[in-house]
Amino acid sequence: MKLHCKTDKNINYVTTEQDRTYFRELIWKNALELFEKRKGMSHNFILKSQRKFINSFNLNGYRNKYKTVEILNTYFKSSNKLLAEQVFYNTVLKKVKN
């Protein structure tokens, strides 16, 4: 098991692969919650909220940390909302453990 040391405001802590997996699952769950509450919210607000949630974990150096933002953005820009919604749910439900 690899351990990565990070510093945040003079506090040293270690993140393990298990921690990062947990953070990823929380990020996907947050995207799902925002998507389900999308009525009455602007697209920009939802995307900004998701980015802010991701950045709260301070996950520097992770390649796909904004994948949920990309998927939400793809849904909002799609002309066929029914198909885009199905793709979104299929993608998210693979990532989120029920």
Convert the pLDDT of each residue in 21-40 to its tens digit: 888 899 999 999 999 999 88
Q: What is the pTM of this model?
A: 0.79
Query: What amino acid is encoded at 68 in this protein?
Result: T
Counting every residue, how long is the chain?
98
Distances (CA, A) of 79 to 3, 5, 60, 74: 44, 44, 34, 10
> What is the 8-class DSSP label of residue 18?
H
Q: Is 68 exposed, middle or buried (0-12, 13-18, 19+ CB in 10 A)?
A: buried
- pLDDT for 2: 44
CB 68 within 8 A of CB 31: yes
Convert the pLDDT of each residue in 66-94 to its tens digit: 999 999 999 999 999 999 999 999 999 88
β-strand partners of 8: 11
Would you list the domain boundaries of the chain? 3-95
